[in-house]
Each structure stands twice: as C-alpha cells, then as structure tokens.
A and B are shown apart, each in its own frame.
Chain A
Amino acid sequence: MDFSFSEEQHQLQDAISRFVQGDYSFERRHKILKSADGWSREVWQGLADLGVLAMNIPEADGGLGYGPIETLLAMQSAGPALLCEPLLDSAVIATALVRDFGSPEQRAELLPAMGGGERIVVLAHTEAAGRGQPVWVETSAKKSGDGYLLNGHKAVVSLAPAADELLVSARMSGQPGEADGVAVFRVSKDAPGLVLKAFKTLDGRRAADVVLTDVKVPAASLLGAPTTSATAAIDRALDIGLAALCAESLGVMEATVNATIEYLKTRQQFGQPIGRFQALQHRTADMLLHLEQSRSMAYLAAMHCNVADDTQRRKTLSAAKVVIGNACRFIGQQSVQLHGGMGMTEELNVSHFFKRLMAIELSFGDTDTHLQRFAALTQRDIPLAA
C-alpha cells in the first residue's frame, strides 16, 4: 500500500495551487462572477497553459495521458478557489466521454482543441425526473432524412452557457430508465430550435436548462458508433466526474476547516479566543473527522472510477458520495455557525465555501440517491441461506 504521490504529481499539484492563489484571488473571482459571462476565457487559457485541460487526454490524442490520481490532485488543488470555469464539466466529464466513446475522427477533431482551451464541450444529460439516475433519458431522437430530430428538456446543466458545443443524450428507442436505446449527439449551441435558459446558481456559477424543439442534427453528429447504446459510456464518464467532484469537495472542505480553525484562534469573546471553549473544540474535531473520512473516500473514488466492473465501481462511488455528501453538509453548516454573524456575510469566503458544498451535495445524485443505490447493490452480496 502506498498513499504517497510521485514527484511529477506533486509538481502538478503545486502548479495549480500557485495558479489559483495568484490568478484567482477571491476578489478576482468576484469580478469574474459579476461579468456578463460569469466565467473567464483568460483563466481558461491559463488552465490550458498549465496542461490541466489536457490531463485526461491520451498522448495519442495530443494530451498528457494522465490518470485519475492527477485529476484528483488537480481538482483538490483547484477546489478552494471555487473556479467558475467548466473544469469538471469540459476537461473531465466531456473529455472522458469523447475519449472513450467518440469515433477516431471525433477524437481527432475535438480532443486537441479541448485540451488546448479552444473548444469547450459540456455534456447535457440530466433531466428533472431522473433525480440523479444516469439512465433516465426522456429526450428523444428520431431519424429524419439523413439526420435526426431532437426533442426534450435537460435540467440545470452546469456551465452550459460557457460551452461552444453540447453533448446531448437522447433516446432512440425504449423507455426512460432503460439502459438500451440511448445515443449522444454533438449539438452546436446556436443550433436552431435549441434554447438555453441561462441562470446563475447559488454557488455563483452559470448553468442553463436546455430545451430542444425539433433540433435537426446531421448523422455525423452522433457520437461514437450508432450500434451501441451510450448509457454505459455516459455512466462511466459521470463516475469519472463524480470522483473529480469528490476531489474538488475535499479541497473546498480543507479550506473551510482551515478558515474556521483560524477564526476560532483569533475571534475573542469573553476575554479569550472562542477556540478555548470546549464545545467549539469538539465541534471542530468532528469537522476534522468528516474531512479525513472524506479524504479516504475521495482517494478510493479516484482509484475506482475507471474500474470496468460496473457493480464494484458504482458501489464505491456511491459510498464516496454518501460520506462526502454528509461531510459537505456538516462542515458547511458548522463553518457558518462557528463564525457567528460573520459566517452569514457574503464578504467572507466561508459563506461561499458553504454554498459550493451545498451545490456539490445536490449534484450527481444527492446523498439519499446514492445511499439507496449502495443499499440495492450490496443487498445482492448477502448470502440468503446460512
């Protein structure tokens, strides 16, 4: 067993930490959030220059060919900066899907451009009624002439407004909840019939509901080969994304716990630092327990997100999301509580950490969804007769 990181991995971690500390201060982020787009191309290019956008792209496709551990380190290091750029959405999830499911031509066209920062691609998959279940696709794709007509509604697609193109999942046959019959299409954001209802989210990012009404796409926009259902590939890409989200949350939680400890040491009430009160010491100790349990699960998730065995992979990732979802809530809430009135202000970073942790808890299926998925998957393990 070895929990240490290589020299190269440490360098990546340091580079990203330096970048976000230098180029992504709290004030800079605030300005970016207030701008019309709510994210920054300049920052995006900076991330490309660091190689972060190419880390999940194989060397054969012009990338760095790193693995999930590097993604873990990158996301964890970027976490405290609360980036409002589509790092998770484009550089992790969409990249994984194109890499693992795209045709050689699509890979050649998209991956180098995505890795270089020139093209931003976001997966538009989740639907309101799905409640975090990856196979719930109601959006339909019907053959029409030499292409397809897409109709449907994708809910709260994170960073869709920043994307140049969307990867839209749609059902060619079967019912919502069935694994077969789902395909993914490349759809340009300005395709006629596609409406982006863009909005800000509580954690400061941009997102959109994507409404497709008879959006006509050519046959070549189908991702991968038309014969295989895309659900397995989407599921894997989402699990890679979920592992990266766990890593990001780890970075946010570390920053939150540190900020709280720092505050307890400096804030004076009753003639002493409030950190002297045992009630608060124990609460902070509990925050640390949550953090360390989350760290373990974020590592485990990173190491399992590529496992081919669906059951084993899903079990581990659901377990990680449950531990981390609970930790996000506890650490977020307590950090505000222990800061007293100050914790409620927009001016302090803890309130922004709190909101990001809240959003993380709600994304990719909430704690209940994963608890139930884990229970369903592990029930099968019990020998029924003694």
Chain B
Amino acid sequence: MDLTFTPEEQAFRQEVRAFVRDKLPASLRHKVVNSLRLTRDDHVMWQRTLHERGWGGPGWPREHGGPGWNAVQQYIFEEECAAAGAPRLIPFGIKMVAPVIMAFGSPEQQKRFLPDISSARKWWCQGYSEPGSGSDLASLKTRAVRGFDKDGDHFVVNGQKTWTTLGQHADWIFCLVRTDPQAKAQRGISFLLIDMKSPGITVRPIITLDGAHEVNEVWFENVRVPAENLIGEENKGWTYAKFLLGHERSNIAGIGISKREIERLKRVAATEMKNGKPLLEDPLFSAKVAQIEIDLMALEMTNLRVLSDEANEKAPGPAASILKIKGTEIQQAITELLVAAVGPYALPFKAENESDEEGDIGPRYAAGLGAHYCNMRKLSIFGGSNEIQKNIISQQLLGL
C-alpha cells in the first residue's frame, strides 16, 4: 500500500494548478467561490479556455480529441480546478452524451458532434425525466414514432420532459424516448439526439425555491427528428442510458468542491464574532467544522480506493452510490454551517431577475448563502436520489 501520488502525478498536479492560476479570470473565480450565479457566457468562456489547452474533454481518450488521462489524473484535474475556483464543467455534453456517442454512436455521429462538445460551440442538455417518471425512469412515456416519407427516414416525437437543467441555453438535447410501447418497460426505449431549434419544441422555465431559473419543462409536439440522430440500435436506449449513469465517477463525490467550501467556511467563521471572539473559536461550532472535515478525509480515501480499483480494471460496482450519498451529504452539511455562521444575514434575498448590485446588507460573503443552501437541496434529489442510491447499495452490494 502506498498513499502518495507518484512524482508524475504530482508534476501533473502542478501543471494543472499553474494553468488554472494563469487562465481563470479573477471575476469568474469570485463568482464561483461565493456561489453567485454564472451566465452561459461564463461557462462557455471557461470550457473554451480548457479546450484550447486540449483539456476540453478531461475524461476523453486521445482518439476522440481528449487528453487520454487515467482516472487518477482526471481526479487530480477536477480537484485542482475546484480548489482554484473554476466553474464546474457542465456535464451534459462532456460527461454524459459524449461518452455514449463514443461508445455507441456511428463514426459520422462522432465526427459531427464530438468536436462541438469539447469546444463548447454547442450546449447540450439532458432529457430523461418526465413529470410521471423520475426515480422510475423506465416508465417514461415520451413517444417517438418512426416513419419514412419523401424527406426520408425520421422519428416524430411527442411528449414532455421536465427538470431539464439549463435547457434554456441548449442547442441540443439527448432524450430517452419510447419507440416500442408494447415491449417491457426497459426494452422499448431509444436514445435520440434532438436539435433544440426543431419546430414543435417549447421550453418553459421552472423557478426553484431559491428564485433561480435553472430547470425547465421541454414540450415536444410532432417534432421531426432525422433517423440519423438515433444512437445505436432502436429500442436499446436503456442499455446506453445505464452505461452513461455508471460511467462518470471521477467527480461524483465532489471532493475538490467540498475542500474549497470548507476553506470558505473557515474564512467566514474566522471573521464572524461570537462573544467578542471569532466564531471559529467557539467550541461547539469548531467541533462541527472538524467533524465535516474528518468525514471528508474519509470520503477522499474511499474515493481514491474506488479510483485505484478502476485503474486496475476491477469491475466498477455500486461504489458510485456510496460516493454520491456521502459526497452530497457533506456538501449539504457545509452549506448548513455556512448559513449558521452568518446567522440572520443569510436571510436577505434577491431574486435572479433583480439587480445584482452590491447592497450593503450584512457582510459581503453572506449575500447568496441562504439561496445557495436552498439550491443545494437538489444534490440529494437529482442524478438518482439518495434513497434510490441506498436501494442500489442494498440490492446490488448487499444482495438484500
């Protein structure tokens, strides 16, 4: 057993660190480390910066234009980016649809779609969930009927997707659609790539409890999709979706983000005063911070064990579920302590559409913490809720 990173890995870490230090604009870093809302341009700008360095698809193999990093390198990359306050990469293109296109798409699809993903020329969103199908995703109803006419082979899509994250910015959506209503739930599903500018698509905002417009409803009314946008085989979409869900584990635990957030928490708690002393010296508060830090140490080790298994080609099991549950619990717990640290100054609130001028209500770092806490409740709901992850652990890992 050896817990140290190799000299090559350490050199790699330095390389990433130096790059991010040089290239990340201070204004963007400020937004990220204070959980202020990012614009589409902010994300695109950072994705392009990485792309120019050849790091646009950090998990991609060389043959598809990626850097060809192994799991440990990807982990180090994500950790350094998070620590430096870089925006998290929007996963839908890079981490979700791209690996599916690489594994199951045709060479034409790979040539057509992949370069626009790593360079952020096209923004992707994920169309899985439906109003009636969340945890029970296989029950989805959006219908795609295949047909041939003078304009060729195509699907006609009708239905509704929901919770589509940042769909308002998207150029493309990857969807699970039902192509065989007769088959058993998982069997009659196909994986379609749909141009968001297609006639018949309507995007409606859903405003979340923190006042933000981050998710959307997407309606499909007789939307025509060329058959060349079908990934792999018809009715095999569930297999591809499952591949996707199990694919990306390098950042599921959010270790780098949590480390940065704990630093922020300590900065805030060192500034806030209680009984004339810094809050961080209050025994009750500092014990809570310490507990989170310790939990995070353990999770980091667990994460590295999973990565090392993966690097040794051991079958990836439901370990991702452990990383997801514990990682999101830690991230949420940090937001609770941040709110507790600033007390009532976590309550002043500005909706997204209101001016972002710095008011002088409370300390600067307090603005947005309350909304951030509210927004982070999503971590235990999306991407397979923590309850569903526990079902997976008890069924697949424990055989119960």
Pair from one complex: yes
Interface residues of chain A, those whose CB is within 8 Å of chain B, are 126, 128-129, 131-133, 155-156, 177, 197, 199-203, 207, 209, 268-271, 274, 277, 279-280, 329, 333, 336-337, 340-341, 343-347, 351-352, 354-355, 358-359, 362-363, 366, 368, 371-372
At the interface, is chain B mostly helix, strand, loop or mixed? Answer: mixed
Asked whether A202 lies within 8 Å of B349 as measured between CB atoms, the reply is yes
Asked whether B132 lies within 8 Å of A362 as measured between CB atoms, the reply is no
Asked whether B349 lies within 8 Å of A131 as measured between CB atoms, the reply is no
Asked whether B134 lies within 8 Å of A341 as measured between CB atoms, the reply is yes
Asked whether B346 lies within 8 Å of A155 as measured between CB atoms, the reply is no
Asked whether A340 lies within 8 Å of B339 as measured between CB atoms, the reply is no
* A155 and B382 in contact, given A269-B135, A362-B339, A362-B344 (Cβ under 8 angstroms): no
Cα A362 to Cα B374 with chains together (Å): 14
- Closest CB of chain B to A213's CB: distance in Å? 14
- In the complex, the chain A residue whose C-beta lies closest to that of B387 is A279
Chain A residues, Cβ within 8 Å of B370 = 202, 358
Chain B residues, Cβ within 8 Å of A268 = 132
B129 within 8 A of A: yes
Most-contacted residue by chain B among A336, A341, A351 (CB, 10 A): A341
- Closest CB of chain A to B324's CB: distance in Å? 14
The list of the 7 closest CB pairs from A to B, nearest first, reads A351-B209, A156-B344, A269-B136, A201-B347, A202-B349, A346-B207, A199-B348
- Closest CB of chain A to B138's CB: distance in Å? 9
Cα A368 to Cα B287 with chains together (Å): 12
- Closest CB of chain A to B209's CB: distance in Å? 4
Name A368's contact: one of B285, B345, B381 (CB within 8 Å): B285
Cα A279 to Cα B395 with chains together (Å): 14
Within 8 A of A (CB), among B336-359: 336, 339-340, 343-350, 359
Name B343's contact: one of A132, A279, A341, A354 (CB within 8 Å): A132
How many A-B pairs have beta carbons closer than 8 Å: the answer is: 131
Most-contacted residue by chain A among B208, B211, B371 (CB, 10 A): B208
Asked whether A346 lies within 8 Å of B209 as measured between CB atoms, the reply is yes
Asked whether B345 lies within 8 Å of A279 as measured between CB atoms, the reply is no
Chain A residues, Cβ within 8 Å of B170 = none
Chain B residues, Cβ within 8 Å of A201 = 347-349
Within 8 A of A (CB), among B319-375: 336, 339-340, 343-350, 359-362, 370-371, 373-374
Cα A341 to Cα B377 with chains together (Å): 10
B106 within 8 A of A: no
- Closest CB of chain A to B332's CB: distance in Å? 8
| Binary flags per residue of B232-276, CB closer than 8 Å to A gives 1, else 0 | 000000000000000000000000000000000000000001111
Asked whether B374 lies within 8 Å of A131 as measured between CB atoms, the reply is no
Chain B residues, Cβ within 8 Å of A351 = 208-209
Cα A59 to Cα B381 with chains together (Å): 53
* A341 and B349 in contact, given A269-B134, A279-B390 (Cβ under 8 angstroms): no
Name B346's contact: one of A343, A352, A362 (CB within 8 Å): A362
Cα A131 to Cα B215 with chains together (Å): 36
Chain B residues, Cβ within 8 Å of A343 = 377, 381
Given contacts A202-B374, A337-B386, A341-B134, 14 further A-B contacts (CB under 8 A): A132-B343, A156-B347, A156-B348, A202-B346, A207-B348, A209-B362, A269-B134, A279-B390, A333-B377, A337-B381, A340-B134, A341-B381, A346-B209, A346-B211
Cα A345 to Cα B273 with chains together (Å): 35
Chain B residues, Cβ within 8 Å of A333 = 377
Chain A residues, Cβ within 8 Å of B336 = 329
Asked whether B359 lies within 8 Å of A197 as measured between CB atoms, the reply is yes
B206 within 8 A of A: yes
Asked whether B377 lies within 8 Å of A336 as measured between CB atoms, the reply is yes
How many residues of B sit at the interface, in one of the four size bands?
Answer: 35 or more
11 sample A-B contacts, Cβ–Cβ < 8 Å, listed by A number: A155-B362, A201-B349, A269-B135, A333-B377, A337-B386, A341-B129, A346-B207, A346-B208, A358-B373, A358-B374, A368-B284
Name B340's contact: one of A200, A270, A274, A368 (CB within 8 Å): A368
Chain A residues, Cβ within 8 Å of B215 = 341, 344
Chain B residues, Cβ within 8 Å of A366 = 340, 343
| Binary flags per residue of B112-141, CB closer than 8 Å to A gives 1, else 0 | 000000000000000001001111100100
Asked whether B135 lies within 8 Å of A202 as measured between CB atoms, the reply is no
Chain A residues, Cβ within 8 Å of B29 = none
Asked whether B377 lies within 8 Å of A337 as measured between CB atoms, the reply is yes
* A197 and B371 in contact, given A279-B387, A279-B390, A341-B129 (Cβ under 8 angstroms): no
Cα A305 to Cα B206 with chains together (Å): 43
- Closest CB of chain B to A241's CB: distance in Å? 14
Asked whether A155 lies within 8 Å of B273 as measured between CB atoms, the reply is no
B378 within 8 A of A: yes
Cα A194 to Cα B349 with chains together (Å): 22
| Binary flags per residue of B376-400, CB closer than 8 Å to A gives 1, else 0 | 0110111001110011000000000
- Closest CB of chain B to A35's CB: distance in Å? 15
Name B163's contact: one of A126, A280, A341, A372 (CB within 8 Å): A341
- Closest CB of chain B to A69's CB: distance in Å? 29
- In the complex, the chain A residue whose C-beta lies closest to that of B288 is A368
Name B345's contact: one of A132, A156, A329, A345 (CB within 8 Å): A156
Chain A residues, Cβ within 8 Å of B381 = 336-337, 340-341, 343-344
| Binary flags per residue of B194-230, CB closer than 8 Å to A gives 1, else 0 | 0000000000001111010001000000000000000
* A202 and B343 in contact, given A156-B348, A344-B208, A345-B209 (Cβ under 8 angstroms): no
- In the complex, the chain B residue whose C-beta lies closest to that of A133 is B275
B162 within 8 A of A: yes
